[in-house]
């Protein structure tokens, strides 16, 4: 495959580039360093220092012998994106290149406007570039489980058949989310569905849960190949955040009652899910939606797991309930269906004590770099 990865410098993008490259596919990557500049601006940089993307690619070539083609540029710039599509004519495009943080989108009007503009415009540009250069190209788009919110009914895999006044039809599963960022993901899904119906594109939209971890077979080859690892309130996902808090002996910041439940997955499984989706593409005129998670946990369950391993390793781990800065249900029903990726061949890596211990050990090596002021930045929904 010739695969174009948008957001190639990111937490998920960089390991994905290496994953496809090590399997001998031709990888083309794009990034505009938004994540690096935003985290510098907000004083919440990643825990592990990462060489820039061009240096990463050189390191990868030296380590694995495999080449990648990298371009630094902005996907909201249509002329730039189109030139890349024309130069390489990819078979698959993986679209990670969005502003990925709910708290960031809630900071103020300027950040809200950026999130809307960046996320919707990148998706629109990908759709147009595919239509203009090769409508056969399979679009793999990262959505989020957060699109569904926490409805009081089971969450199906993307679609819901509804019977109303004796007639039936199938619709996108109803979505009521909890941040502007998540709202842009819903808007992306609606936009993709519109162009699938109108232009017959082939799209896979992955409703992914929060990802944890930093190890993949490729990143384990050299510590300089590790992905960005954020632990701050803005860009850090909850389990990564708790582990770094435990190592810093900072009380784990459970929001409100901590009964909020979500579906999670290991970084290694994100790689598998994207790879399996690329190898077994959606059909023409198909918007294929998968719920991308392997296990569900409440925030309290995650805090307990982290405390157990942290205490075992000799850290003094306290758990603290802080006033919830978000508007979200703290007690709710949560039952998700997620069989599609398992049927494609996903072999899940579950959250075992050993997996947690491994992440603790890596984090401990960088504990001098922990910036405690990044754990709580005071971003509120109201």
Ligand X SMILES: NC(=O)c1ccc[n+]([C@@H]2O[C@H](COP(=O)([O-])OP(=O)(O)OC[C@H]3O[C@@H](n4cnc5c(N)ncnc54)[C@H](O)[C@@H]3O)[C@@H](O)[C@H]2O)c1
- Binding-site ranges for ligand X (CB under 6 A): 7, 9-13, 30-35, 74-76, 96-98, 100, 118, 122, 142, 144, 208, 210-211, 228, 237
- What's the min distance (Å) between Cβ of 77 and ligand X? 8
Residue 206 CB, shortest distance to ligand X, in Å, is 8
Q: Residue 317: left if φ>0, alpha if ψ -120 to 50, beta else—which one? A: beta
Contact 225, 63 (CB under 8 A): yes
Closest to ligand X by CB, 240 vs 245, is: 240
Question: How many CA atoms does the CB half-sphere of 136 hold within 13 Å?
Answer: 5
In the block, tokens 């819903």 appear at 186
Rounded distance, CA 102 to CA 225, Å?
A: 27
Residue 144 bears catalytic tag: yes
Contact present, 208 and 293 (Cβ < 8 Å):
yes
181 labelled catalytic: yes
CA distance 259 to 277: 32
Residue with Cβ nearer ligand X (274 or 282): 274
Q: How far is the CB of 42 from ligand X (least distance, A)?
A: 13
Q: How far is the CB of 283 from ligand X (least distance, A)?
A: 24
Of 111, 185, 268, 305, the catalytic one is 185
Q: Which of 45, 22, 26 is nearest to 35 (CA)?
A: 45
Q: Which residue has the closest beta carbon to ligand X?
A: 10
Longest dimension (CA), the chain: 64
Phi and psi for 211 in degrees, rounded to 5?
Answer: -100, 145
Among the listed residues 115, 123, 144, 216, the single catalytic one is 144
- Which of the residues are catalytic? 144, 181, 185
């Amino acid at each position: 495959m010739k695969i174009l990865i948008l957001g190639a410098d990111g937490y998920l993008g960089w390991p994905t580039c290496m994953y496809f490259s090590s399997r001998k596919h031709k990888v083309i990557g794009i990034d505009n360093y938004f994540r690096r500049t935003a985290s510098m601006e907000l004083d919440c940089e990643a825990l592990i220092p990462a060489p820039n993307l061009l240096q990463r690619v050189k390191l990868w070539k030296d380590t694995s012998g495999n080449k990648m083609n990298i371009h630094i540029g902005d996907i909201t710039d249509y002329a730039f994106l189109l030139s890349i599509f024309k130069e390489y004519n990819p078979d698959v495009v993986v679209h990670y290149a969005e502003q990925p943080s709910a708290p960031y989108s809630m900071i103020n009007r300027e950040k809200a406007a950026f999130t809307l503009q960046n996320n919707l415009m990148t998706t629109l540009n990908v759709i147009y570039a595919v239509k203009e250069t090769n409508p056969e190209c399979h679009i793999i788009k990262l959505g989020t489980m957060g699109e569904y919110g926490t409805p009081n009914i089971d969450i199906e895999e993307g679609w819901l058949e509804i019977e109303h006044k004796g007639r039936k039809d199938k619709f996108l599963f109803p979505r009521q989310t909890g941040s502007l960022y998540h709202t842009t993901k819903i808007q992306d899904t609606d936009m993709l569905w519109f162009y699938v119906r109108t232009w017959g594109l082939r799209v896979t939209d992955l409703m992914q849960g929060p990802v944890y971890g930093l190890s993949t077979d490729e990143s384990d080859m050299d510590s300089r190949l590790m992905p960005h690892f954020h632990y701050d309130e803005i860009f850090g996902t909850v389990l990564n955040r708790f582990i770094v808090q435990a190592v810093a002996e900072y009380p784990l910041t459970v929001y409100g009652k901590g009964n909020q439940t979500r579906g999670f997955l290991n970084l290694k499984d994100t790689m598998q899910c994207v790879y399996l989706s690329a190898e077994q593409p959606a059909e023409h005129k198909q918007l294929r939606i998968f719920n991308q998670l392997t296990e569900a946990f409440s925030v309290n369950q995650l805090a307990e797991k982290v405390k157990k391993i942290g205490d075992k390793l000799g850290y003094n781990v306290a758990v603290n309930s802080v006033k919830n800065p978000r508007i979200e249900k703290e007690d709710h029903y949560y039952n998700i269906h997620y069989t599609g990726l398992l049927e494609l061949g996903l072999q899940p890596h579950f959250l075992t004590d050993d997996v947690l211990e491994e992440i603790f050990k890596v984090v401990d090596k960088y504990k001098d770099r922990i910036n405690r002021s990044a754990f709580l930045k005071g971003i509120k929904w109201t």
